[in-house]
Structure 1
């Protein structure tokens, strides 16, 4: 099970590496300081932690999935589960669940997130969820092989594509990925 201290450690290491992001992440660091609820629980409002994987193949392309609920292209990721023991592990679990790519086919390049993003998730009346923020910790993985079979979870994902790393958003991400792949 992941605790607030685990999140603090990863966010602190991230801000040590990318100190210019401190202002952008004030809402997350404030939430970690206040502890207004369990940030690992998807019902915690006004926001909670999620984890995503930036999966890069040998051709320097990044895996994206078409998220059914949000109707947009994202990197694989999602909410934490009670069985998760690390934040990076939660990200790789989401890759397996959404794309069928097994964790043994992925290599974590750093235990420090390559990016942390705060974004608004719109209300979802079907799930009884109000609009809220995701504090998304993004971990960089490299595929161990170029020949991967992608099997999508149709309940969550309606497509996948590999995008050249230079075309990936946000704008600072391609440089960070390239630095860690070097």
Structure 2
């Protein structure tokens, strides 16, 4: 059997006044009612920087210059459904515009939360990435535990 290639996800950590921006998922059929970072998957022929810049504009209506992005964590993750993913977590050091909900059919709204006290309904994949960012840990592996 051929190995399953991982999906590459990009997540954007927008921090302001000691809080991070989270979006409440709705109407997507996956993790609805949970909070996640502005995020998405790479499109064909797109690098991770272009993807996170595109997602920032599509989801929260801000323009993030490429040189304002800092890669803070990479996670090799297997979700509860067993699908492998690689998450690229970026911090935007500055951006143009005010974050706002650009996808009201997929997002119930934006809210700001202390990164070290995230709500219980934060998507675990995102919460783990934020926790590793806070600890200045550049790489992690989750969901691949094996029995001894």
TM-score by length of 1: 0.55
Contact 2:53/2:65 (CA < 8 Å) preserved in 1? no
Greater relative contact order, per chain length (Cα 8 Å cut-off, separation 6+): 2
Q: Kindly state the Cα deviation for residue 164 of structure 1 after the two structures are TM-superposed.
A: 1.5
Aligned to 1:140: 91
**Which structure 2 residue ranges, 5 or more long, are not aligned?**
119-126, 138-148
Distance 1:143 1:116 in 2: 23
Distance 2:74 2:117 in 1: 16
Contact 1:114/1:173 (CA < 8 Å) preserved in 2? yes
Question: Does residue 155 of structure 1 match 2:114?
Answer: no
Question: Does residue 62 of structure 1 match 2:20?
Answer: yes
What's the secondary structure of 2:56's corresponding residue?
A: helix
The structure richer in helix per residue is 1
**Which structure 1 residue ranges, 5 or more long, are not aligned?**
1-34, 37-44, 123-130, 178-182
Query: CA RMSD for the aligned pairs?
Result: 3.0
Q: Kindly state the Cα deviation for residue 172 of structure 1 after the two structures are TM-superposed.
A: 2.9
What's the secondary structure of 2:89's corresponding residue?
A: strand
Match of 2:68 among 107, 119, 131: 107
Aligned structure 1 segments of 4 or more residues deviating by more than 3 angstroms: none
Distance 1:90 1:117 in 2: 18
What's the secondary structure of 2:100's corresponding residue?
A: coil
Contact 1:99/1:150 (CA < 8 Å) preserved in 2? yes
Question: Does residue 81 of structure 1 match 2:43?
Answer: yes
The structure richer in strand per residue is 2
Q: May I ask how many residue pairs the two structures share in their alignment?
A: 122
Contact 2:9/2:86 (CA < 8 Å) preserved in 1? yes
Match of 1:172 among 132, 139, 143: 132
What's the secondary structure of 1:160's corresponding residue?
A: strand
